[in-house]
Structure 1
Amino acid sequence: MRNFKIVPLSEGYASQLRTEKKDDYGLEVMEQLSTGAGPCRVSLQPFEIGKDIRLVFRHSPFEIKNAFDQPGPVFIHKKPVKAYKDIYNFPPDIKKDKDNFPLSLIGYNQEQKMVFTKLVGDEDVDELIEKIFKNHHNISYLHARNSEACCFICKIERL
C-alpha cells in the first residue's frame, strides 16, 4: 500500500456550491462552457473542452488563514459527479496528460507553512509522492498544482 492518499473536494461541498451558488467568500459561483481540461476538483477527471459545463469559484485548500493561504479559481462539473475513489493512486488521466497538466507538488508542515516544492516533469508522480513522504518527515501534506496556471488540483495526505 502507498504512503499517501489523494483528497478531492467532497461531493457534499460541491452540492452546497451548486445549491447556494455562492463560494466560501460570498462570491457568485459562475457557470461556463469548458475552455480547458480542468480537471473537475471532485471527480479529478478532465473536462471535455467545448462540451462540459463547469462551475468556477474561489477556493482555498487551507484551513489556517496565513501568508500561505492561496485562494484561487477552481472548477467542478455543473452536474453532480462522484468523488475520485482510487485514492491511493494519483488520477491516471491527469498523470498521463503532461501537456494539459504540468504538475508541481508543494509540501506543507503542520503549521501550514510551505517547506517543499518540486516540479514533477517526466517523473512518475505516484513514485515521486512516495519518495517525498519517505524522505521529508517535516511534510504533513502536499498540494498538487498545475505548474503553468498555479491552480490547486488536489490535496495529498501522508498515511
Structure 2
Amino acid sequence: MSFRILPIEPAIAEEVRTTLRAPGYGHPAWVDVPDSPAPCRLCLDRIEPHRERLIGFTYDAFRDREELPLPGPVFVHERACTPYERAGQFPARLGNSGVVLDAYRRGRRLLVERRVAKPDIPDALTDLLGRPEVDYVHVRSATAGCYLCTAVPAS
C-alpha cells in the first residue's frame, strides 16, 4: 500500500501569516530567524538558518480528525511556500535525525509507536498503513518530539 503525506492546510498557514495568531486558539504567534534548520509544516522543507524567517504557533495535530486536541508548537515559512503534494514519497529534507511514527485508529487510539531511521521511513509508513486497523500515522521528530506531518493511505 502506498502512502500520502499531508502537511498542515494552506489556509492555516495563510491565517497565521496574516494574523500572527494561532488558528483555533488565538495564541500569539512569533517570528524568528532560526539558528538551526527548522521544518516548515506546509512545504515540508527546511527553513534555512540565519537566512529565512519562520512563524511559530500552536497547532493541533488532530485538527479536523479527532475530537480531543493535542496542541503543540509548529513552524511555517514567513514567506509563501507551496504545500507538499507527492504521493508515495517522504519529504527529502525532513527527518534527517529519524522520526517517531505514531499509528492511530480512529478515535485517537494509538496502536503502534515506532522510532525509524531516515532510510527506513517509506517502508515503515507502507507497513503501518497497510495494516487494516491503522487509519493514519502522525510523523514526529525523533529528537524534539514535535509533530511534523500526517501520513494516510494513498487510495
TM-score by length of 1: 0.88
Deviation of 1:52 after TM superposition, in Å, equals 1.0
1:62-115 CA distance string (max 9 Å, x none): 13343xx321100000011010122321101125x23xxx21100111111211
Deviation of 1:148 after TM superposition, in Å, equals 1.7
Q: Is 1:109 equivalent to 2:108 in the alignment?
A: no
1:103-154 CA distance string (max 9 Å, x none): 11001111112111000026521111111122x3211000110012110000
Q: Is 1:142 equivalent to 2:137 in the alignment?
A: yes
- Cross-structure match for 2:6: 7
The answer for unaligned runs of 5 or more in structure 2 is none
Say if 1:104 and 1:147, in contact at 8 Å, map to a contact too: yes
Q: Which has more strand, going by share of residues?
A: 2
- Cross-structure match for 1:151: 146
Q: Once structures 1 and 2 are overlaid, which stretch shifts more, 123-132 or 45-54? A: 123-132
Structure 1: distance between partners of 2:10 and 2:118: 31
User: In the TM superposition, what are the counterparts of 1:9-158 in structure 2 within 5 Å?
Assistant: 9-23=8-22, 24-62=24-62, 63=64, 64-66=66-68, 69-95=69-95, 97-98=96-97, 102-121=98-117, 123-134=119-130, 136-158=131-153
Structure 2: distance between partners of 1:122 and 1:74: 20
Identity of matched residues, %: 23
Structure 2: distance between partners of 1:52 and 1:105: 28
Deviation >6 Å, runs of 4+: none
How many residues are matched? 151
SS across alignment from 1:124: helix
Q: Once structures 1 and 2 are overlaid, which stretch shifts more, 70-79 or 19-28? A: 19-28
SS across alignment from 2:38: coil
The answer for unaligned runs of 5 or more in structure 1 is none
Q: Give the RMSD, CA atoms, in angstroms.
A: 1.6
